Amino acid sequence: MGSGQGSAATRAILGELPELPELPELAAEPARGTFSVEGRAVSLSDVERAWVQAAASGDRLVITP
């Protein structure tokens, strides 16, 4: 088996998740626009430096070409 989203069928992955009563409400958050994740864009050529900084600051990186 591989590692990553393509290594198992979505239905199989979902079948392994616990039953969460709040899941429908949580899944609706992005559609309402009440859920956001801050990210910092970093070019691929600068990823090593940014990765070290993000580990210290907690920033979420978005790697760009």
**pTM attached to this predicted model:** 0.44
28: containing domain: 5-64
Sequence-distant (≥ 6) Cβ neighbours of residue 11 within 8 angstroms: none
Q: Where is 35: in which H helix or E strand? A: none
Higher-confidence position of 56 and 3: 56
**Buried b vs exposed e over 17-52: b needs ≥16 C-beta within 10 Å?**
eeeeeeeeeeeeeeeeeeeeeeeeebeeeeeeebee
pLDDT of 21 over the 80 cut: no
Residue 2 has pLDDT above 70, yes or no: no
Q: What is the C-alpha to C-alpha distance for residues 1 and 18, in angstroms, rounded to an integer? A: 22
| Angstrom distance (rounded) from CA 61 to CA 58 | 9
Q: How confident is the model at residue 30 (pLDDT cuts 50, 70, 90)?
A: confident
Specify the number of domains making up the chain: 1
Q: How confident is the model at residue 42 (pLDDT cuts 50, 70, 90)?
A: very high
